[in-house]
Amino acid sequence: MNRSTLLHHARLLAAAGLLAALAACGSDRQAPPAALPSAAAPKHDSRLALVPAPASMTPGEGRLALGNGTTVLAGDEAARAVAGQFAALLERGRGIRLRIGDDKQGAQGAIRFVLDPARADAGREAYLLEVTPAGATVRAADATGLFHGAMTLLQLATIDAAGAWLPAVRIEDAPRFSWRGFMMDPARHFWSVDQVKQVIDAMALHKLNVLHWHLTDDQGWRVEIRKYPKLTEVGGCRIPAGDGGIDPVSGQPRPYCGYYTQDQVREIVAYAAARHITVVPEINQPGHATAAIAAYPELGSTSTPLQPSSEWGVFPNLFNTEESTIAFLEDVIGELVPLFPGTYFHIGGDEAVKDQWEASPRVQARMREVGAKTEMEMQSHIVARLEKFLAAHGKRLVGWDEILEGPLPPEATVMSWRGTEGGLKAAREGHDVVMSPSGDLYLDYLQTESPYEPPGRPATITLRQVYDFEPVPAELEEDRRHHILGLQANLWTEHTRTWERFEHHVFPRLAAMAETGWTPAARKDYDDFLRRLPAQLERYRAWGIGYALTPFQVDAVAVDDRKAGTVEVALDNPLGYAVHYTTDGSEPSASSPAYKAPLTLTLPARLRAAAFADGQPLAPARDYAWDAASLLTRSDEQLGICPDAGRLLLRLEDDGPADGERAIFNTTIFYPCWQWNAAELDGVAAVKVRAGRIPYYFQLAHDEPHRTFEPARSAHGELDIHAGGCNGQRVASVPLPATTGEDGFVELEAPLAESPGGRQDLCLRFTGDTRPQMWVIDRVTLQLR
């Protein structure tokens, strides 16, 4: 059994024995619980809990009964197509089978879909929905509006003790923005055709209308180009880092591969179009090009042989600037343009570090040939060529906001990801803009402080933060605001290895983004959104959409008083829903004590807590237990980030086993340092640290100088421990071994030279640069005299 597999299994076994200890601050290491069964789904009241909220809504009197005999009527072919989609989704999600008939028939209590040219002024996505006890009608000038109306009608469908019904209501609705997008990244981790279709279905239910498909990157080329077969034969496969890239049976390298054939692309694009979603492909250049250059080395700017990378970050590898390489890009785009009938084509342009161009005499000569004074102007020359090529094929170019750093064709559209500043600049210069800032709309960032969060990127983007993002900067002049086409949420998948994690990252945050994209700004209300959210979770369960439980669970933080034999426990639900708890091991209910203030419990103590809305639990209760021994141990999730670490927290997986669940560690890559804040050091004789190693698989480009570490004083470095924070007194130091034990861990016991006593911020820091591996902490235990 190899090191990382042992690391995984040993950690799972250790976790089982440490459940009580690791629960001390709300980290209990159990697998995330399954979603609530349908029978326990939170009940939403008769209010119209729609997501996104419509532009105008007037409740009526009474309700329209639904049943297997209810008729859906439509006139022309387009209306019948929408009627059929509505009926299929209602049967799938609610188990109600409708009859579809011709609108000429007429029927009491029927649901009608009507294309009405008189509503053309309202816009192609607008609709009017009216429900009375006598029947329901959706009217729109275009099938797109009818479809959005059908999605609203689907949300209104309610089943309770009285049966199935639609509430009486009048809704006049249209979107605020024309671009309401979601970006899917199969380049890092590949998603099947069926999984892409699931995303499209979920987007339709949220009234999103643009799927941005990130098809190429350093880690993989994911779309068939018939003129260049090596793009997928070579560029479509990478060897994962460490043990994840080794076949556990043969011991041989196991490639990670995947790409979409052109026939599959047509299938997906048609599937999206039937749901009124446009697919925008992205072929990234001149950076994020490692996979393509690995397939065709003549495209690169370096003589170093390349392979599709198993690392993450910003790479130096750029396409070269030769005319033949521009022709290659035009060939690729030329094959893809017929597959994507939408208006836009994304050409990337981000994070193109110019070191290789600066060092290349040939690139410098090429710059002189085309009159480019800087490397950025050289990139702009390529962008202009691609823009002209796309325009000749009836397409508009979209690129990340770096394309603004050089001359930009006026027709180019800018996707602003480095904050909103690029979008503001682009709009003022007359370019259309899609706002997609990483600090607000990147869904691979962690969404709560819960230890149950799956691997993800640094920082936290909460549901509230996504909801509050405003795509139109207040400082943008009124006559330039029309250039803001809308907004887009992005999910990069470096750390999203499984479909369950994909859904966890996306939902329910996508619902918050969708409301900003659709609902008039004046009608947005976060508190009301939270009141409507439980009903949306019920729909997710009915429609088979997985979602994150962490925002709906209860976290606990415990502070012990060893002398008194008590623990003070603070409870929190990340979204602020009501918390109820028990201390006798029973299941909490809405009639259990409501949490108001921190609880003082006598050790040993047990507590179960859940968040509630409308008297029903939003997620399964979480179980916590503490005793005197457990309070002397902290897991890596319970440790803080040292101030000098730049607060760049990552939740990273171990590299093995090759399949199945892997251990997860909280760590930093810029400064290997952890902190146990306010550790009680009275009577502590030593600190025991259980540490392991995982591959260091990051490319930092120009951020590399910001990665720092304390110099090693021995062959393999040390574990240093400081009291009073990292700038305080060093109270212990232990040399690090050359290798870990057979179980993948090493137990480091550090006697305190002089115990400072009292509560101290205990800083734990590894010295030396140990790449290509990095040390991670599994747990820390204070040992008493």
pLDDT tens digits, 684-693: 999 999 999 9
| Residue whose C-alpha is closest to residue 554's, from 450, 631, 460, 456 | 450
Cα–chain center distance at 179: 19
How many angstroms separate the CA atoms of 637 and 18, rounded? 14
What digits encode the pLDDT tens for the residues 543-598?
A: 999 999 999 999 999 998 888 999 999 999 999 999 999 999 999 999 999 999 99
Same domain? For 22 and 63 the reply is no
The mean pLDDT of 519-547, rounded to a whole number, is 96
Same domain? For 139 and 194 the reply is no
pLDDT recorded at residue 47: 59
Residue 221 to residues 190, 228, 258, 293, 306, Cα–Cα distance (Å) = 10, 11, 8, 10, 14
| Residue whose C-alpha is closest to residue 781's, from 666, 591, 638, 663 | 638
Q: Which amino acid is at 96?
A: I
**Secondary element (H or E) of residue 759:** strand 759-766
What digits encode the pLDDT tens for the residues 307-326?
A: 999 999 999 999 999 999 99
pLDDT recorded at residue 545: 97
Strand 111-115 and strand 99-102: pairing? unpaired
As beta bridge partners, residue 720 has 733, 765
What digits encode the pLDDT tens for the residues 294-310?
A: 999 999 999 999 999 99
Strand 673-680 and strand 640-641: pairing? antiparallel
Residue written as tokens 């916590």? 624
Same domain? For 200 and 141 the reply is no
pLDDT recorded at residue 668: 87
Phi then psi for residue 442, to 5 deg, are -90, 115
| Residue whose C-alpha is closest to residue 109's, from 67, 76, 139, 146 | 67
Same domain? For 168 and 184 the reply is no
Domain span at 116:
56-173
How many angstroms separate the CA atoms of 746 and 719, rounded? 12
Q: What CATH number does residue 108 fall under? A: 3.30.379.10
Q: How confident is the model at residue 386 (pLDDT cuts 50, 70, 90)?
A: very high
What digits encode the pLDDT tens for the residues 6-36?
A: 444 444 444 333 333 333 333 333 333 344 4
- Note whether residue 588 is domain-resident: no
Is 781 strand, coil or helix?
strand
pLDDT recorded at residue 601: 97
Query: CB burial class (10 A; 0-12, 13-18, 19+) of residue 81?
Result: middle
Q: Which of 351, 503, 637, 718 is catalytic?
A: 351
Residue 734 to residues 632, 683, 746, 752, Cα–Cα distance (Å) = 20, 20, 12, 11
pLDDT recorded at residue 755: 75
pLDDT recorded at residue 69: 83
The count of domains in the chain is: 3
- Note whether residue 500 is domain-resident: yes
- Whether pLDDT at 335 is above 80: yes
pLDDT recorded at residue 645: 62
Q: What percent of the chain has pLDDT over 70?
A: 93
Q: What is the CA radius of gyration of the chain?
A: 28
Strand 729-735 and strand 684-695: pairing? unpaired
How many angstroms separate the CA atoms of 767 and 714, rounded? 9
- Note whether residue 115 is domain-resident: yes
- Whether pLDDT at 4 is above 80: no
Q: How confident is the model at residue 138 (pLDDT cuts 50, 70, 90)?
A: very high
The mean pLDDT of 516-537, rounded to a whole number, is 97
- Whether pLDDT at 756 is above 90: no
- Residue 158 in tokens: 């309610």
Last-in-domain residue among 518, 548, 567 = 518
Q: How confident is the model at residue 441 (pLDDT cuts 50, 70, 90)?
A: very high
Residue written as tokens 């011991």? 251
Q: What CATH number does residue 709 fall under? A: 2.60.120.260
Same domain? For 148 and 189 the reply is no
Q: How confident is the model at residue 646 (pLDDT cuts 50, 70, 90)?
A: low
The mean pLDDT of 462-476, rounded to a whole number, is 98
- Note whether residue 48 is domain-resident: no
Q: Which amino acid is at 581?
A: Y
- Whether pLDDT at 103 is above 80: no
pLDDT recorded at residue 709: 87
Is 415 strand, coil or helix?
strand
Same domain? For 498 and 384 the reply is yes
**Secondary element (H or E) of residue 736:** none
Q: Average per-residue pLDDT in the chain?
A: 92
- Note whether residue 201 is domain-resident: yes
Same domain? For 159 and 185 the reply is no
- Note whether residue 757 is domain-resident: yes
- CB of 496 closer than 8 Å to CB of 183: no
What does pTM read for this prediction?
0.93
Lowest mean pLDDT among 257-261, 265-269, 454-458, 462-466: 454-458
Same domain? For 444 and 487 the reply is yes
Q: What CATH number does residue 473 fall under? A: 3.20.20.80
How many angstroms separate the CA atoms of 212 and 346, rounded? 8
As beta bridge partners, residue 165 has 65, 158
pLDDT: is 15 or 361 the higher one? Answer: 361
pLDDT recorded at residue 764: 96
- Whether pLDDT at 484 is above 80: yes
- Note whether residue 567 is domain-resident: no
- CB of 292 closer than 8 Å to CB of 216: yes
Beta strands in 76-132 (DSSP E): 99-102, 111-115, 127-132
**Secondary element (H or E) of residue 571:** strand 566-572
Same domain? For 144 and 169 the reply is yes
- Whether pLDDT at 135 is above 50: yes
Q: How many CB atoms lie within 10 A of CB 565?
A: 11
Is position 503 annotated as part of the catalytic site?
no
Last-in-domain residue among 139, 173, 207 = 173
Same domain? For 695 and 761 the reply is yes
Last-in-domain residue among 518, 534, 552 = 518
Same domain? For 189 and 163 the reply is no
Same domain? For 268 and 362 the reply is yes
Strand 127-132 and strand 163-173: pairing? antiparallel
- Note whether residue 436 is domain-resident: yes
Q: Which residues contact 305 (CB under 8 A, 6 or more apart)?
A: 294, 297
